[in-house]
Structure 1
Amino acid sequence: MVPSIIVGRASGGEDTLVDVGNVSSFDEMHGSGAEDVLEFDGNHGVEGDGFARWNRDSDAPKLRKMVSREERMKWWRVYAMHFLFMWNSRTFEYVSIFLVALAFPKGLFATSIRGITSTVSAMLCASAVGNWIDRSPSRLPTLLITIFLNHAAIVASYCCWLYWPIIAGYGEVTSETSGPFSSLSKGIVYGLILFLDVVHDLSAIANRLSLERDWVPVLVGPITPEISYGLTQVNSVMVRIELIVKLIAPSLLPLIMHTFNSQEGWILLLAAMTIVVWAIEVWCARLVARENPELQELKKPSIDSATIEDFEIEDQFVHLKPGLHSLPQKMYFVLYQDPAARLRHYFSIPMWPASISMALLQLTVLAYSATLITHLVQTGFSISSITVARASGAITGLASTVITPWLVGVLRGRYIRGSSTEDEKDDAAEGRVVRTVGMWGILLQFLCLIPVVLVLWSLSSAISPEVLSRETNTSTSSPQFLIPFILFAFLSLSRVGHYMNSLMVQELGQVEIPASQRSTFAGTEQSFKSLCELCHWAATVVWDHPSQFKWLALGSLIVTGSSAVLFGTWARKSGKGQDSGYESVPLNDLEEDNTI
């Protein structure tokens, strides 16, 4: 352990005499309330026992560089942990699609059942998952539980798929009527696979909520306009990691499949890889928690009305007598009273309109989703052009994770220079910046989707697949380049605005919601997203003909515009009130013993 100095800022003079203390980490020193921190390695002048002299003018740049380096090392460990989790989860999601398709090649019933089950379970249970995270007293055990459940479900699901050929019969020709529930044994195993998929999805939601809404705000610390590496930067890197994994993981699967002659071989390899990554991920989580003592502290009980009501409901449930006679009351608590309370708390948070505006975007078909891709294939677009377009959409999404922090930094500097008092800087600048960038993002998405809708409308109304796929030598008369270029260029650009708005809404949820309700709020938001996703699929069932896709596109544009209006109205009203002040996470509240 390196001895360190806590340096207090003096009211005057060039030098400050400070007491030398042995503390466990930089975060502990920062949590003690000292304004400046300097590592003491014996090279600085010492006056007497236990005192050191620090010249602020000469050593301040070195200090900032040292602190920045240590902060970034801390975050690299967090990013490694997030990467490992996303790698296992995304790989499993992609592999599951192939496994279901290989097991049931004659129809989409099994795939549809799997998708509906996962979506409905997320809609019904995401809020409860978030509430469990908020009520959990410790952060590290909660995160480790989510990792265990997620990866255990993945390994168990791989084992079920290893057992599936035995049930289906080796070498048997699959009949058109063969389905996941055509026999009792198939129904049991596929039902178990569906259950494991639900466990995987809910634990993935829990892991994301625990990391984004519980760990990250505490690790970032107090939010100030002068912060150099804050929530915007951290959230952007984490989204960047998710997008990179989403690109790389599916591309490696064909290589793994071609390496083995049998399906059992590559499934066993994936299961072994999952276990190895699982072990490394747990080690990373424990290392991050050990190096950041604030993560090991028990959460302080909150006395807000929402938390008190949650505890009252839980107390009533716990004190019910065991047995069948109390089953109706238990069902009432689980199915109605507890969810109703969480829903009421959700709409009592001032930023719920921003959250709903994000959920509404799940209704749109104007993204590189299965719905739009299927329509484009039916319309005559080639698979190669769609693949290139999806890659461009991923690239613009990655670009957004770089553009957004830069834009926030530029606007933050302008707001700070234009502020008249320090209080205004601290309370309003950051909130104003985040609202402004979020508004620009949703407006950019809406404006970019207008040409997309016009192209899709013309394709559905006037251009037949034969015309679209026609070979011609004149670049002016051929729609083969112009129409796909306009469609894909603006659709990809819309992803920049989408991620800008998403990152800003995520940051607002991390700082403007009481710590005791952050995960519950985010879980309820996820429930609304799942509900909108179900409505999305229901709309595609009603308007399923390619010629009717123009109405889905127009409706998606209206939904995006409504989302922009909802977010803009809320941002303007809340920016003028008290809601725009960020709720800081002072580490000295967590480390009460480390004071000077």
Structure 2
Amino acid sequence: MDSDSEDSFERADESTPIGGDGSVTPNSLTRSQALNLYVSHAFSTWNARGYEFAAILFTAAAYPDTLVAAALRMIIVYFAMILFSSSVGHWVERSPDRLRTLLSTILCNRGSVILGSFFWILILSQRDLVGDEATFVLPSNAFLKGAGFAVAVTFGIVERLSASGNLISMERDWVVTVAAPAGQPYDLTHLNAVMRRIDLVCKLISPILISAFISAFGSVRLGVVFTGLTSLLSIPVEIFSATRVWNSSPPLQAPRAAPPPPPPPPPQRTQAESRSWLARTRQYFHGFEMYFSTTVWIPSVALALLHFNMLTWRATFITYLINVGYSLNTITVARAVGSVFEISSTVITPRGIEYMGKARHHAHLEDEDDESGVGLIASDQEESRDVQTVIGLQRFGLWGMSWQLVNTIPVTLALWAISTLKEEESLSAFARRVVAGQTPPNVAWSVVLFSFLAFSRLGVWVFDLTTQQLTQTLVPTHQRSSFAGTENSIVNVFELLGAGAAIAFPRMEQYKWLALASLVSVVISLIMYAGWVRRQRGHLLHWEKVAHSICVGDRGR
């Protein structure tokens, strides 16, 4: 946007959004509305990312001598998300009032964190964990501790489901509804990039703040109190910000269009049978039938498959790095560098989509009949621009996946080399390390490992952003929320498979096989996505242009 149009945009009355060319765009956001949207999303994401990390610390403090509790909590949560995420998406889709839906997810999420914090306090206050000198001490009781843990995990499931509902409502409904037409301020590409940037910044800073608070005060119980108070204090800010956006946006205030009714049950089924668990099971699988009937289920599954990848900063990978000799400071710095690349993807992606979508970078638009107007959210006047956006999304998403694969290969080689070197160490050397402390792995392989791991994070988040916008624009309006809920279920299937693989190969020397399996998952994901792009566009590369470039280069020499 040039300086003249930006000045006119800033002077515009907030009830009349102005586009980049000075024209009135009633579906566009003003700067104030966008800020309130970002604030509401930031507080929701901050709490979700913070509690996700805090629950790991609370579980480790409650059961310090075993990993069983942490693994059990993770598996239970994954199973719950697989079972109920589709229903959450269906609920968001069927709720006619957008504001009430979003506020319900906020209140449910914050309430579950606050109540869960109460039970974490009870668990962590038992005498065998805090000793007799603590201010508040409860007698040790294994049964009550287990019961409290079960209740805390239950509230954790509610927290994850409500956070998922909040994200679906915000990303698949609110953002798509208020987004400006393509190419104007606050269009869908811009909103997605900023929202994901907020998510990644919260993912980096929120866990660090909780860790710093617990370290400063030396008490996990105070960390529980801090987590609960943060959730409580954020409620009015989130509600106020979301309400301001809704009050000033007629498209959001309009009742959501009712989705088509489900097909009637067979005549032989009675009303009681239609309400039985069998009917609910059929409804559950109907969500998967809808999901796989869309044109973008392949990119969605390709993205979900990446959640099996164990070459990311998940608990198993961090545990492996610590056990092979890396210090916590080294891991923290490497993770922070990777986060910088993740955040940079939100800056690069909008520009990459625009660049890849320009007419001079692909065949003429009239040759792309298969993509024109399919499920796009823009009006007919912007159809040409929207076709360019979809093509840009497809091409830049392919670039992101290719970039991730190229950088995952050296990461896998480095882990394989580090594991092999550890296996070749003699028993006496191992005994000396146990006494004198772990010696870090080979420096050269460590540089390769952490450098290319950071580079790979750029590719995965580029692919994530482009796939998200493809599903936002190419899935029919009345199916977006249900699609997102089912997509979340599939994501958790691969998360669960990753956790199961880590349990099946628990020894440190076996992690190289998990790394190899992760590389295979990235290859499969790229093949799936590339095949989908080829079917949509009829080609992956313009080979005639490649040949022309080579010929020109040869003549130049």
Unaligned runs of 5+ in 2: 1-12, 133-139, 367-380, 434-439, 540-557
1:504 pairs, out of 456, 466, 472, with 466
Partner residue, 1:572: 534
CA distance in 1, matches of 2:393, 2:266: 36
1:370 maps to 2:323: no
Alignment of 1:16-27 (within 5 A): 25-26=15-16
**Is residue 453–residue 550 contact of structure 1 (8 Å, CA) maintained in 2?**
yes
Structure 1 residue 67, shift from structure 2 partner = 9.8
Structure 1 residue 26, shift from structure 2 partner = 2.4
**Is residue 168–residue 186 contact of structure 1 (8 Å, CA) maintained in 2?**
no
1:89 maps to 2:48: yes
**Is residue 431–residue 575 contact of structure 1 (8 Å, CA) maintained in 2?**
no
Partner residue, 2:210: 253
**Is residue 405–residue 519 contact of structure 2 (8 Å, CA) maintained in 1?**
yes
Partner residue, 1:280: 237
The one-character-per-residue Cα deviations of 1:407-462 (angstroms, maximum 9, x if unpaired) are: 12223344599756788724521111100000000011001111111111222224
**Is residue 257–residue 266 contact of structure 1 (8 Å, CA) maintained in 2?**
yes
Partner residue, 2:190: 233
CA distance in 2, matches of 1:212, 1:297: 18
CA distance in 2, matches of 1:555, 1:308: 42
**Is residue 379–residue 465 contact of structure 1 (8 Å, CA) maintained in 2?**
no
**Is residue 146–residue 207 contact of structure 1 (8 Å, CA) maintained in 2?**
yes
Partner residue, 1:525: 487
CA distance in 2, matches of 1:484, 1:410: 35
Partner residue, 1:333: 279
2:64 is paired with a residue whose SS is coil
Alignment of 1:208-219 (within 5 A): 208-219=167-178
Alignment of 1:142-153 (within 5 A): 142-153=101-112
Per the alignment, do residues 425 and 576 of structure 1 end up closer, same or farther by CA in structure 2, a change over 3 Å counting? farther
CA distance in 2, matches of 1:551, 1:121: 28
Aligned-pair identity in percent equals 30
2:354 pairs, out of 409, 414, 421, with 409
The one-character-per-residue Cα deviations of 1:29-68 (angstroms, maximum 9, x if unpaired) are: xxxxxxxx69xxxxxxxxxxxxxxxxxxxxx86x369999
The one-character-per-residue Cα deviations of 1:338-367 (angstroms, maximum 9, x if unpaired) are: 112111111111111111101111111122
Partner residue, 1:387: 332
Partner residue, 1:513: 475
Alignment of 1:472-487 (within 5 A): 480-487=442-449
Structure 1 residue 251, shift from structure 2 partner = 2.0
1:270 maps to 2:227: yes
Rg: which structure is higher? 1
Alignment of 1:432-471 (within 5 A): 432-464=391-423
The one-character-per-residue Cα deviations of 1:125-176 (angstroms, maximum 9, x if unpaired) are: 1111111111111211111111111000011111222333566678559xxx
2:341 pairs, out of 396, 400, 412, with 396
CA distance in 2, matches of 1:257, 1:496: 31
The alignment yields a C-alpha RMSD, in angstroms, of 3.4
Give the AA of the match of 2:297.
W
1:308 is paired with a residue whose SS is coil
Give the AA of the match of 1:115.
M
2:30 is paired with a residue whose SS is helix
CA distance in 2, matches of 1:381, 1:169: 31
**Is residue 179–residue 187 contact of structure 2 (8 Å, CA) maintained in 1?**
yes
Unaligned runs of 5+ in 1: 1-22, 28-36, 39-59, 174-180, 472-477, 578-596
Partner residue, 1:360: 305
CA distance in 2, matches of 1:423, 1:65: 15
Per the alignment, do residues 183 and 516 of structure 1 end up closer, same or farther by CA in structure 2, a change over 3 Å counting? same
CA distance in 1, matches of 2:503, 2:402: 29
Give the AA of the match of 1:371.
T
1:107 maps to 2:97: no
Per the alignment, do residues 316 and 252 of structure 1 end up closer, same or farther by CA in structure 2, a change over 3 Å counting? farther
1:290 maps to 2:247: yes
Alignment of 1:128-139 (within 5 A): 128-139=87-98
Per the alignment, do residues 257 and 548 of structure 1 end up closer, same or farther by CA in structure 2, a change over 3 Å counting? closer
Partner residue, 1:49: none
- TM-score, structure 2 as length reference: 0.81
Structure 1 residue 398, shift from structure 2 partner = 0.8
Partner residue, 2:262: 309
Structure 1 residue 309, shift from structure 2 partner = 1.9
**Is residue 29–residue 186 contact of structure 2 (8 Å, CA) maintained in 1?**
no
**Is residue 93–residue 482 contact of structure 2 (8 Å, CA) maintained in 1?**
yes
**Is residue 356–residue 391 contact of structure 2 (8 Å, CA) maintained in 1?**
no
Per the alignment, do residues 269 and 541 of structure 1 end up closer, same or farther by CA in structure 2, a change over 3 Å counting? closer
CA distance in 1, matches of 2:228, 2:156: 15
1:204 maps to 2:182: no
The one-character-per-residue Cα deviations of 1:360-385 (angstroms, maximum 9, x if unpaired) are: 11111122222222222222223322
Alignment of 1:58-207 (within 5 A): 63=22, 71-165=30-124, 183-207=142-166
**Is residue 83–residue 242 contact of structure 1 (8 Å, CA) maintained in 2?**
yes
CA distance in 1, matches of 2:188, 2:216: 42
The one-character-per-residue Cα deviations of 1:476-521 (angstroms, maximum 9, x if unpaired) are: xx97431111111111101111000000000011110001111111
CA distance in 2, matches of 1:381, 1:465: 18
**Is residue 149–residue 200 contact of structure 1 (8 Å, CA) maintained in 2?**
yes
Structure 1 residue 572, shift from structure 2 partner = 1.7
Give the AA of the match of 1:436.
R
Partner residue, 1:351: 296
Partner residue, 1:594: none
CA distance in 1, matches of 2:301, 2:495: 13
Per the alignment, do residues 90 and 127 of structure 1 end up closer, same or farther by CA in structure 2, a change over 3 Å counting? same
CA distance in 1, matches of 2:365, 2:211: 59
